[in-house]
Chains A and B, each alone.
Chain A
Amino acid sequence: MNDPPSRRRPRDTGEGQPRARRIRAGAERRALVPLAVATVALLAVVFYYPVATVFVEAVVVEGAITLAVFAEILRDPFYFGEFARLLAGEDPIAVLRDLLGADRRLGIVGFTAYQAALSTVASVMLGVPAAYLLARYEFRGRRTLRSLTILPFVLPSIMVAVGFVATFGREGTLNTALAAIGLGPVELMFTLEAIIIAHAFYNAPLVARVTTAAWESVDASAIETARSLGASPFRAFRDVVAPQLYPAVLMGGALTFVFTFATFPIVLALGGFQLATVEVFVYRLVQDLNYAEAAALAIIELVISLGVLLGYLRYEARHAVRSRGARPLPRRPLFRLPAISVREVLPRVGLGIYGIIAAFVFLSPIVSMILASVIAADGSFTLEHYRFLVDRQRTGAAFQVQPWTAVRNSLVFAAGSLLIALPMGVVVAVLTTRRYRGRKLVDAIAMAPLAVSGIIVGLGLLRGLVFGVEIAGWRIVIAGSVAIVAAHAVSGYPFVVRTVAPGLEGLDRSLIESARALGASRARVLLDIELPLVWPGVVAGAAFAFAISIGEFSSTVVLATGTDAYTMPVAIERFIGRRLGPATAMGVVLLIVTSISFVVIDRLGGESFGL
């Protein structure tokens, strides 16, 4: 198994190969095909078909095919603001003039895109410095910190809302701190700023994690070459390092846009209904059983999100950086300065300022949540909320949610979906980095699980899987744990694709071609050469797939109907009451369990691999 490819005989002398080796080679050669077929089948069953059962309602109304529903939404100023006038055939110049005016109406869709764009900028601004710190400096706890960066990803929105009120609210930590230095107070709650900061809380870690992975894959020898040719450190960064980071930063940005474009509970919790986004109306329309309009709105949402993803993918394809193996850049010690010079001190001062901002944005909401779990109604310290969890475990009725079952299910589902999402993601990454026409479109469609409204997916799973399909007099029902794992894997695999594909695209083709010429199968080249070279991306993808499963809520509750297949976020939702204690205590359990898991994933897949 461990033969280096160079010791293999060329394929065309297969005649003389021992039988066992020939079979193995055959199996390897064909391994990618069944994997690809399984991936497509899984996507069809737990994603495309269920979603189609809902989307079809947008175009088939009372048995007839129509585009009237779309036309109505597109021409409605409530949704499209001034753009709706454009679609209604008004003079584009007049519309443009009004758009630039103070009283412009963006409409719900326009506003949603606007806040998503601002959230994306904020997430990139807060994410890139973190990547710089994690990729370029050495300090105690660096690896643990890197493992924990995506922790915000798994927190249920109600927990984030609680943390944000405690941090940025009228009587929150920020205002207390500002008052201490004679400033403030600032009113952040119920503003657009609050939403943007919350979106950055969720998404800057995403930008940071993918950028860190890209930075760690930068080959040191390329920089050394540039420097030896006389390039200044700045020039070497601009010409060698930065081009390898742009795709990662832009990818983080594109994904952030897509996520924040479909944002839902957090907007109403921190901003209020006057800042309602498209997804709020998709929810309301589904709630009122107005499926045609809900589906049409969700399709419009999807088209915009996929457009952004497609734009990014085209950029990624054009700007693939050819690299040949990787010897990562050496890290500088964060606290022991090699010399007192502007070049050494300035970046560290910058990181210090960044650290203070990051403490407020990322740490404080989490700390507030932990505090809420140990504070009683009268403000004193208590462990009663944790006692509640223990009691619920010991004496709760069988039909009530029990903490340990939730922890166990979460871990099992996350591990299961990780094991499925990794090969799925790698296969799709391989297929979409081959050269053929329209492959970026295929790639964008493969990303659809990120971009389809969660509310629509939930409804589709209910109709398509839980209620079952009648085939030849039998009703086939898919639900329970296996279905949950499959649904989680489908939600998580796009992350694996996105973290693995850019690296694969950038690999020097001659490496692969020589290995193939030496007789290695496609699968063998992938396992022995390509994946090791893009390993930081694989690990980052694995961590995301795990995180997505842990944090997933809407598909889980739909598919768990009638079974005890609930997870930690479901338990948190159940434990919310007048007092936040029990829910926040469960939230802390979720934090601890996921923190340990992330550290384990990174240690298992991490730098021991020689990177």
Chain B
Amino acid sequence: MEESRRRSRRRFLAAAGAAGAVALAGCTAEQVDEEADDRTDGGSDDGGSDDGEEGGSDEEASTLTVATYSSFIDAPSSSPGPWLAETFEEEYGIEIEWATPENGVNHYIERRNAGADIDADLFVGLNVDDLVRIDDGADDPLFEAGALADVDGLDDVQDGLWFDPRDRVVPYATNYISLVYDGTATTAPETFEGLLDADHGGALITQNPSGSTTGRAFLLHTVHRFGADDQEGSGSDVDHEDYLDYWAALQENDVRVQGSWDDAYAAWSGGEAPMVVSYSTDQVFAAAEGADLEEHQVRFLDDQAYANPEGAAVFADADEPDLAREFLSFLLSPRVQGEIAELNVQFPATTTADLAAEYDELAKEPPDPVTFTYEELQGSVDGWIDAWERQFAEN
């Protein structure tokens, strides 16, 4: 522990030294690569005249730049980032550099479309609607299709989790979005219809589907259940024409839609409403904090929960594509699968993960997980959200 700290300290100082020069100048100039295959004079120095920003190196490959969302490496409770970096370096002798741009994968779509270099090798933390957006929005492919051939452990991934029809993204974990409720204040209904009971008026907090993963999953779950213009609902005995009709009733019953999961969970914790849309692993955190589990009950409406697998993919023009694929194999290995699940409080993607038995008791899995495929979302998801916004925010 101590040793690794010193090592990371040194690495930090080295990086800071390089970055310091940049920061002081505040402005860097770098010769733009002419077409990569242009036979210019002998040695190509593509991106070699390094600006120190992402620490790319022109000596032998010794770092891998992994882009991800910030809580993957830096959350107040626990995050898998530090453990992954340390273990990967021990096993492969490769340093990991993390990049956590504020707007996630959109940052790389922007870069691609602006013709700026993609300064990372792979992205960890993609879900299916990200992928739909990327494929609609990026002028050139952001990730390499069919690039997973050399990755070990693909066969161990559960069948239901694969979500990329073009084999770019490998799932490494999954979440289920469900209701979490305070059992001392209410008993959550067992069905979607039950949420419309007057007893549950003003009792549910969910999130803005375009600003939060959980909010989006809950909205998609209602589309799955009740159907939409272009989508057959899966519920057989429902009274509602489609998801918008259900939402009209839900809004009538004072459902609260806040901006982000943070807002919603904070308001729920503050007693503003007894039910919140969140993750089915809620009790794992609650137990770790010594909270009363009765106040952290999980409910699967209609025995279902919306599954939201997370995946990783190698950027199309990664500096270190082979290393990046090795990292994907590493992510799928049984020990790493167990650690990610515990540190990021998710479910492993493979059937072979090493996971403590008590984790199973606290992290709840729905009897009937549901989700939309890439094909079902493509061309539809924007319209569903748009129509919902126009109905819900009508002023």
In the complex with contacts A474-B29, A477-B29, A78-B390 CB distance below 8 A: yes
**1/0 contact trace for B68-107 toward A, CB 8 Å?**
0010011111000110010000000000011101110011
In the complex the two chains form, is B290's CB within 8 Å of A287's CB? no
> Smallest Cβ distance from A423 to chain B, in angstroms?
18
In the complex with contacts A377-B291, A397-B85, A563-B27 CB distance below 8 A: no
**1/0 contact trace for B14-33 toward A, CB 8 Å?**
01100100111111111110
In the complex the two chains form, is A166's CB within 8 Å of B53's CB? no
Whether a CB of chain A sits under 8 angstroms from the CB of B9 is: yes
In the complex the two chains form, is A580's CB within 8 Å of B266's CB? yes
**A580 surroundings in chain B (CB, below 8 A):** 266, 269
In the complex the two chains form, is B74's CB within 8 Å of A272's CB? no
In the complex with contacts A106-B395, A563-B53, A578-B289, A478-B263 CB distance below 8 A: no
Q: Which residue of B lies closest to A554 (CB)?
A: B102
**B256 surroundings in chain A (CB, below 8 A):** 190, 272
The A/B interface has a contact count, at CB < 8 Å, of 223
In the complex with contacts A377-B289, A477-B29, A401-B208 CB distance below 8 A: no
Q: Which residue of B lies closest to A284 (CB)?
A: B210
In the complex with contacts A190-B256, A284-B210, A480-B26, A158-B82 CB distance below 8 A: no
In the complex the two chains form, is A583's CB within 8 Å of B290's CB? no
- Residues 193-249 of B at the A interface (beta carbon under 8 Å): 202, 208, 210-211
In the complex the two chains form, is B101's CB within 8 Å of A561's CB? yes
Whether a CB of chain B sits under 8 angstroms from the CB of A288 is: yes
In the complex the two chains form, is A467's CB within 8 Å of B22's CB? no
- Residues 384-436 of A at the B interface (beta carbon under 8 Å): 388, 395, 397-401
Whether a CB of chain B sits under 8 angstroms from the CB of A526 is: no
Q: Identify which of B111, B267, B390 contacts A165 (C-beta below 8 A).
A: B267
In the complex with contacts A108-B395, A470-B32, A563-B23, A400-B82 CB distance below 8 A: yes
The interface stretch among A341-349, A535-543, A569-577 is A569-577
Interface residues on B, range: 35 or more
**B85 surroundings in chain A (CB, below 8 A):** 397, 399
In the complex the two chains form, is B270's CB within 8 Å of A171's CB? yes
In the complex the two chains form, is B270's CB within 8 Å of A165's CB? yes
C-alpha gap A256/B5 in the complex (Å): 47
Q: Identify which of A165, A377, A474, A478 contacts B272 (C-beta below 8 A).
A: A165
- Residues 131-190 of A at the B interface (beta carbon under 8 Å): 158, 161-162, 165-166, 169-172, 189-190
Interface core residue of A171, A478, A558, A562 (most chain B CB under 10 Å): A562
In the complex the two chains form, is A582's CB within 8 Å of B26's CB? no
In the complex the two chains form, is A169's CB within 8 Å of B270's CB? yes
C-alpha gap A473/B259 in the complex (Å): 43
In the complex the two chains form, is A110's CB within 8 Å of B82's CB? no
In the complex with contacts A268-B208, A562-B99, A575-B76, A165-B259 CB distance below 8 A: no
In the complex the two chains form, is B393's CB within 8 Å of A482's CB? no
C-alpha gap A474/B290 in the complex (Å): 56
In the complex the two chains form, is A473's CB within 8 Å of B32's CB? yes
**A170 surroundings in chain B (CB, below 8 A):** 271-272
Q: Identify which of A268, A398, A483, A564 contacts B211 (C-beta below 8 A).
A: A268
Whether a CB of chain A sits under 8 angstroms from the CB of B333 is: no
**A581 surroundings in chain B (CB, below 8 A):** 76
**B210 surroundings in chain A (CB, below 8 A):** 283-284, 287-288
> Smallest Cβ distance from A289 to chain B, in angstroms?
4
In the complex the two chains form, is B19's CB within 8 Å of A377's CB? no
In the complex the two chains form, is A574's CB within 8 Å of B70's CB? yes
> Smallest Cβ distance from A172 to chain B, in angstroms?
8
Whether a CB of chain B sits under 8 angstroms from the CB of A475 is: yes
Q: Identify which of A274, A476, A557, A576 contacts B76 (C-beta below 8 A).
A: A576
In the complex the two chains form, is A272's CB within 8 Å of B211's CB? no
In the complex with contacts A108-B395, A476-B28, A169-B133 CB distance below 8 A: no
Q: Which residue of A lies closest to B21 (CB)?
A: A480
- Residues 285-309 of B at the A interface (beta carbon under 8 Å): 285, 289-291
In the complex with contacts A284-B210, A482-B25, A268-B260 CB distance below 8 A: yes
Whether a CB of chain A sits under 8 angstroms from the CB of B58 is: no
**A265 surroundings in chain B (CB, below 8 A):** 259-260, 263
Whether a CB of chain A sits under 8 angstroms from the CB of B394 is: yes
> Smallest Cβ distance from B325 to chain A, in angstroms?
23
C-alpha gap A388/B114 in the complex (Å): 40
In the complex the two chains form, is A467's CB within 8 Å of B26's CB? no
Interface core residue of A106, A268, A273, A463 (most chain B CB under 10 Å): A273
Whether a CB of chain A sits under 8 angstroms from the CB of B262 is: yes
> Smallest Cβ distance from A481 to chain B, in angstroms?
4
In the complex the two chains form, is A166's CB within 8 Å of B23's CB? no
In the complex the two chains form, is B102's CB within 8 Å of A400's CB? no
- Residues 26-60 of B at the A interface (beta carbon under 8 Å): 26-32, 51, 53-54
Whether a CB of chain A sits under 8 angstroms from the CB of B356 is: no
In the complex with contacts A269-B259, A269-B263, A274-B392, A578-B270 CB distance below 8 A: no
> Smallest Cβ distance from B105 to chain A, in angstroms?
11
Whether a CB of chain A sits under 8 angstroms from the CB of B186 is: no
In the complex with contacts A165-B266, A397-B81, A474-B31, A272-B257 CB distance below 8 A: yes
Q: Identify which of B9, B75, B270 contacts A166 (C-beta below 8 A).
A: B270
> Smallest Cβ distance from A21 to chain B, in angstroms?
37
In the complex the two chains form, is A481's CB within 8 Å of B74's CB? no
Q: Which residue of B lies closest to A105 (CB)?
A: B395
Whether a CB of chain A sits under 8 angstroms from the CB of B251 is: yes
C-alpha gap A563/B395 in the complex (Å): 43
C-alpha gap A579/B289 in the complex (Å): 9
A-B contact pairs, 5 of them (CB 8 A): A111-B395, A166-B270, A190-B256, A268-B257, A480-B25
Q: Which are the 9 A-B pairs with shortest beta-carbon distances?
A: A482-B26, A268-B259, A398-B12, A480-B23, A273-B257, A467-B116, A289-B137, A111-B395, A557-B102
Q: Footprint of A on B, CB under 8 Å?
A: 1, 5, 8-9, 11-12, 15-16, 19, 22-32, 51, 53-54, 70, 73-77, 81-82, 85, 97-99, 101-103, 106-107, 109-111, 114-116, 119, 133, 136-137, 202, 208, 210-211, 251, 254, 256-260, 262-263, 265-267, 269-272, 285, 289-291, 382, 389-390, 392-395
Known pairs A398-B12, A474-B30, A477-B53. 4 more at Cβ < 8 A?
A284-B211, A480-B22, A562-B19, A563-B53
